[in-house]
Structure 1
Amino acid sequence: MAAVLVSTVTVAATFPLPKDGSTVVGEVKVVVPTPDNTLLDLMRHFDLGYAEITSANPKVSVWTPKPGTRVVIPTRFILPPKPWEGIVVNIPQRRMFYFPPAKKGQPAQVITYPISIAREGWSTPLGTSKVIAKYRDPGWFVPKSIRDEHREEEGVELPEYFPPGPDNPMGMLAMRTGWPGIYLHATNRPWGIGMRTSHGCMHLYPEDAAELFPQLKVGTPFRVVNQPVLVGDAGGQVWMATYEGVGEYPDQAAPATLAASLLDQRIMDAVLSDRPLDQARVHQLLAKPSAVPQVLNADSPSLAAVLAGIAAEPYAFAPYGIDANDASLPEPRQRSDDAASVSP
């Protein structure tokens, strides 16, 4: 079987900002992977996080998808609440959005990356800050609180200092916010992207950090929100996505209350336009969070029907391999020229 060596430096999801008032970007894909690929390989290739790929494919084995399995790639996103400037992180969505300054003569864009978020008890601050510094090949002096926690939970003593390199939990690129000790940085455990792994920082795939780092200027606004329910508008339709909540934040509204608030005016507008919303879809999304945005208008096809109608693409890239689980950029992988032999 012939194979071609290909680059694996991920190009993040980059979209022009809608000019028609829409707040939904991207498209959902469906792929059929070769038997040697896991959902982790797919999530990294398509720049997704663990929570996204697993919520979109709840019945698919993470490690051993059955041959011929149709895997949903949830690369459609509802944009976070405005203002759209600098970096906006939505903690429950486990995703960051970068709104770079528009270049003269070019449309405004949004770039989005999956992130890991804080473990329980180590919440990232909500609110506004900015990027105050950038570091290449950072070292990390491990706080005593983290060393104590690791000793208690793992029975292993962490070193007091990690030098720069592929085994450094800070990765090889780090961007410091104005909150003490809070960074947006790469990681030496990329398979944890999309999980709750940090002590307040936000982790990126090494290749995503490498793409973002040179673009991001010191002084860039940095906003963190806690929005487990997102409602958007596109194509004259109302869209909704839901995410597992992060319970540590005080004074947060219940997801049902938040959904009702976000949908209040839209319900009235939908009735007046003779396109009422399907409340059963709302209740289903609240009961079972899904990273795949769904149309709420009752006259629109269900998500199941939409997914069934998407033609599956064969996915025949070689797996990343265990050596890719550190802070270095992944090595180029092989793609089979015989991809057409993978039947959707």
Structure 2
Amino acid sequence: MRLPSTQPAFPVAPRHGTRFHAVLLLAASLLMPVLAGASADTFALAPDTQIVGAVSTVTASHEQTLTDIARIQGLGYEEIVWANPGVDVWLPGDGTSVTLPKRFILPGTQRDGVVVNIAEYRLYYYFRSNGRQMVSTFPISIGRMDWSTPIGRWRVVAKQKDPTWYPPESIRKEHLEDGRGFLDKVVPPGPDNPLGKFAMRLSVPGYLIHGTNRPVGVGMQVTHGCIRMYPEDIASLFPEVPVNTPVTIMNLPYKFGWSGDDLYLEVNPPLEDDHPTRDREMTALMEQYVQATRDRPARVDWQAVEEAYRRKDGIPVRIGSGVATEQSTAAN
């Protein structure tokens, strides 16, 4: 598969309203630079790999926004905002250190085809290259509260280059009510087509994985349910994903994963339409913990768990270690 930044998997030690986002998208899309090349991170996987990538930092330059940095670094809007609390999105400032949250706990146990975790605004594509299991991961946008992205096990049923968009009546009505003018029943390929240059239709009717003509919105909960990618990312992924590829869409804000003898937790803010409460969140978190430690007991620092839950920054943190390993060490 021809995707950039191939590297081994190795360890290294608040959400805004959609109306607000829409205003920012319109203004920022006029300023967003055109970038060449896909922003995917690609990793070779061992059978027991559960965590890939690394957290790093870059220094913002004059007039560079967090969205500029996010696109260059293969991140989406929410990801980079979560990881940089207190940093102004649109004017971070020359010389500001910006955290790049590019370490990921692989979601769930599904390791074939396309896997989408809407809670982290991220798509994973599993494939084989020269006999090795690989994964590439991309930032995405997902459906907003009233147009949710469908959870389930689907497949790619059709692919189209330079797609024509046929907006349903509900979207055309919304477009008019929002003061954006009359929307034609047929939108041909071109710069005004929100599907971008590539689209992959899913087996769930009416839903696509597609590009965009407004890339600054990638990484937000702003679509009508479709999965939206940076133009350069969909251009890279499109030729590699055959028809009938499985597409698994899940919603996992809490992910546990092992790296060697250490257990890590990644906490992403739950989606607003999940109506999160602390009790619900803790129940969901503990369900994932039980799955992660069912076959491998762990000694857990619950204060570290509480801190990760409080921060909700999407960055995996070490919260424990294998019990057997600690006992063996003590015996020595």
Partner of 1:259: 285
Q: What per-residue deviation string (whole Å, max 9, x for no partner) do you get for residues 265-287 of structure 1?
A: 6399565xxxx322122122223
The AA in structure 2 aligned to 1:12 is A
Partner of 1:89: 116
Contact 2:63 2:93 in 1 (8 A): no
| Structure 2: runs of 5 or more not aligned | 1-33, 322-332
- 1:289-300, aligned counterparts within 5 Å? 289-297=312-320
Q: Tell me the CA shift for residue 191 of structure 1.
A: 0.2
- State whether structure 2 residue 165 is matched by structure 1 residue 140: yes
- 1:245-256, aligned counterparts within 5 Å? 245-248=270-273, 254-256=280-282
- State whether structure 2 residue 125 is matched by structure 1 residue 98: yes
1:288 to 311, 318, 327: 311
The separation in 2 between residues aligned to 1:54 and 1:22, in whole angstroms, is: 27
The separation in 2 between residues aligned to 1:75 and 1:195, in whole angstroms, is: 17
The separation in 2 between residues aligned to 1:34 and 1:251, in whole angstroms, is: 37
Instruction: Tell me the secondary structure at the aligned position of residue 240 of structure 2.
Output: coil
Q: Tell me the CA shift for residue 187 of structure 1.
A: 0.6
Partner of 1:34: 61
| Structure 1: runs of 5 or more not aligned | 1-5, 299-344
TM-score w.r.t. the length of structure 1 is 0.78
TM-score w.r.t. the length of structure 2 is 0.81
The AA in structure 2 aligned to 1:235 is G
- State whether structure 2 residue 83 is matched by structure 1 residue 53: no
- 1:127-206, aligned counterparts within 5 Å? 127-154=152-179, 156-206=181-231
Contact 1:28 1:75 in 2 (8 A): yes
The AA in structure 2 aligned to 1:84 is R
Name the stretch that deviates more: 243-252 or 35-44: 243-252
Partner of 1:69: 96
The AA in structure 1 aligned to 2:45 is L
The AA in structure 1 aligned to 2:60 is P
* Residues 66 and 219 of structure 1, relative CA distance in 2, 3 Å threshold: same
Instruction: Tell me the secondary structure at the aligned position of residue 120 of structure 2.
Output: coil
The separation in 2 between residues aligned to 1:260 and 1:214, in whole angstroms, is: 39
The AA in structure 1 aligned to 2:89 is V
The separation in 1 between residues aligned to 2:189 and 2:66, in whole angstroms, is: 30
Instruction: Tell me the secondary structure at the aligned position of residue 176 of structure 1.
Output: strand
Instruction: Tell me the secondary structure at the aligned position of residue 55 of structure 1.
Output: helix
Partner of 1:330: none
Q: Tell me the CA shift for residue 142 of structure 1.
A: 1.2
Q: Which has the higher contact order (CA 8 A, sep 6+)?
A: 1
Contact 1:270 1:277 in 2 (8 A): no
Instruction: Tell me the secondary structure at the aligned position of residue 214 of structure 1.
Output: helix
The separation in 2 between residues aligned to 1:152 and 1:115, in whole angstroms, is: 27
Partner of 2:134: 109
Partner of 1:225: 250
Percent identity for Structure 1 against Structure 2: 38
Instruction: Tell me the secondary structure at the aligned position of residue 87 of structure 2.
Output: coil
Matched pairs, number: 287
Contact 1:255 1:286 in 2 (8 A): no
Q: Tell me the CA shift for residue 216 of structure 1.
A: 0.6
Contact 1:22 1:235 in 2 (8 A): no
The separation in 2 between residues aligned to 1:7 and 1:125, in whole angstroms, is: 30
Contact 1:267 1:277 in 2 (8 A): no
